[in-house]
Amino acid sequence: MTAGRVHRPSVLVVLGLVAALVLALLLLPAAGAHAAPTAPAVPSPPATPANPGTGGLNVQINGANGTPSAAVVALLGITLLSVAPALLLMMTSFTKIFVVLAMTRNALSLPSIPPNQVLAGLALFLSLFVMFPVVNQITTDAIQPYLNGTIDVDTALRLGSGPLQSFMVAHTRQEDIALMTRAAGLDNPATPQSVPLQTLIPAFMISELRAAFIIGFVIFIPFLVIDLVVSAALMSMGMMMLPPVIISLPFKILLFVLVDGWGLIITSLIQSYQGTG
């Protein structure tokens, strides 16, 4: 019993030593591989450029065939969209048409009907209708030749501003041009076509506002007569606490519908621009 107990631990000790030796033999090549360092590679010298340049920045506006590049056209389109509302208000018939429509709404004692969005949309499409010959001429003379690469930017701007300037001169009073010329301290232009744009644009807006207020005054007169008649009738009946606008509003709407008021106003506005532009 004692000899068996002594022999069994000896066998276990021998097996442990053998396993340790095998593990050491397996790890020895890996340790030796990590211990051996490798020499770094020598970097290659920089190559000399084939065509050395002098430096600087070169921006090409036109494409390979002479037409403007797509990036430039997109940039011009975004710029035009940003200033389009100002151009629409100052250099077209939009101001006059919108003011006349707004004064018509006030004459009917309807401060919010039709809403401003409807009046602005109607004025916009009427302005496009009135300005279509001018826009068509600008497209033919300036925009299409520039996109085709036959003219440069300066020539396109000069040719494009010509029809628009002729339209504004045809609807601007000479008194307003003289007023803005004196305010700017400039010499009197030899001809109306030679008026600079910085003087012509404000003079055109003043003339358009004056014409719009004259039309609005004419529109207000029949509705004012209705208000006076209704007020006199209410006072004669002793109904002074009743607002006259409540009684006169249906008669104003009835009169406006019977005479086809919107058609008369729009026809008058369009005819005021015919024969020019």
In this prediction the pTM is 0.64
17 falls within a domain: no
Rounded to whole angstroms, the Cα distance separating 151 from 143 reads 9
- Give the C-alpha separation, 242 to 235, whole Å: 9
Residue 22 lies in a domain: no
CA atoms of 128 and 164, how far apart (whole Å)? 13
Residue 277: inside a domain: no
Position 49 in a domain: no
> In whole angstroms, what is the distance from residue 175 CA to residue 177 CA?
5
The answer to whether residue 162 sits within a structural domain is: yes
In a domain, 185, yes or no: yes
Query: How much is the pLDDT for 130?
Result: 86
The two structure tokens encoding residue 25:
């033999």
Residue 208 belongs to some domain of the structure: yes
| Residue 247: C-alpha distances to residues 222, 250, 265 (Å) | 15, 7, 25
Domain assignment present for residue 175? The answer is yes
**What is the mean pLDDT of each successive set of 10 residues along the chain, which is 277 residues long?**
48 55 51 52 66 55 59 73 72 87 86 84 87 85 79 78 82 83 78 77 88 89 84 77 76 84 86 68
Supply the pLDDT for residue 272: 83
Q: Range of 105's domain?
A: 70-271
Q: What's the pLDDT score for residue 277?
A: 44
In this predicted structure, what is the pLDDT of residue 113? 81
Q: State the total domains in the chain.
A: 1
